Structure 1
């Protein structure tokens, strides 16, 4: 794997963690939302990640230098999509609430604020770690270039 491929890998990881942070922010913003029907109620969303390394290894044939460089090029993280949580909604009987349905019920989001805060901290730390990986790779590349100078 080339040293330059590290930037692609850590960049894809930072992009994936950015998506994770955005979905967590959306979940937290809608944690206290209320609706008058099950279909309109906000449901927690979570990103689905997949490794791109298996795709890269499928392209690898033999030991030539061109094939080895292909392995590192597509290694990283892919965001496969964002799925809604299947946890049950919070149903509350509040007949005087302006959003209550015909039976007097309101429907609250299924977002767990504590779980979302843990996700936010984890995504933030993962993002920071990948920034450090990219910075270390940059430093190594600069030192490698200085070897040729003197």
Structure 2
């Protein structure tokens, strides 16, 4: 059933993008969380996608894709942002406090991209549903 496979592919993309959106909003929410008591500040997280493995049958035919899934969430290894503030209670011996390696502009752009991809997948889902409906109408004829 090609329609069911298409629904599975679109559904996996919707799930993956929703998860990505949640991670991006978590990054934005924690962009001002500094490290306290010797702990590191919040680290930016990124989502890694991978195509979903196909069944042996699908691999042999190579006709359709298998969808997408989230394989892992990785923490960015970029340096933290130092800010000189010797009066801050959490400043180090040199007078610096360290903010997370989250760039608000970059996160906003990633969020817009994830939203657009999600919307495109919703549109694809609507098309698949309309095609399935028309196919059922043809069968009635």
Q: Are the aligned partners of 2:34 and 2:40 in contact in 1 as well (CA < 8 Å)?
A: no
Q: Scaled by the length of structure 2, what TM-score is found? A: 0.88
Question: Is residue 2:57 matched to residue 1:60?
Answer: yes
Q: Are the aligned partners of 1:12 and 1:78 in contact in 2 as well (CA < 8 Å)?
A: yes
Q: Distance in 1 between matches of 2:35 and 2:93?
A: 12
How many residue pairs match? The answer is 141
Q: Are the aligned partners of 1:60 and 1:71 in contact in 2 as well (CA < 8 Å)?
A: no
Matches within 5 A, 1:1-150: 2-36=2-36, 39-52=39-52, 55-56=53-54, 59-60=56-57, 75-150=66-141
Q: Cα–Cα, structure 1 residues 140 and 61, in superposed 2: closer, same or farther, change >3 Å?
A: closer
Q: Give the Å deviation of 1:15.
A: 0.6
Q: Distance in 1 between matches of 2:39 and 2:10?
A: 38
Please tell me the root mean square deviation across aligned C-alpha atoms, in Å: 2.4
Q: Distance in 2 between matches of 1:148 and 1:3?
A: 15
Q: Give the Å deviation of 1:141.
A: 0.4
Q: Distance in 1 between matches of 2:118 and 2:58?
A: 33
Structure 2 spans left out of the alignment, 5+ residues? none
Q: Are the aligned partners of 2:35 and 2:98 in contact in 1 as well (CA < 8 Å)?
A: yes
Structure 1 spans left out of the alignment, 5+ residues? none
Q: Distance in 1 between matches of 2:119 and 2:37?
A: 40
Q: Give the Å deviation of 1:28.
A: 0.5
Q: Distance in 2 between matches of 1:35 and 1:61?
A: 49
Q: Give the Å deviation of 1:37.
A: 5.9
Q: Scaled by the length of structure 1, what TM-score is found? A: 0.83
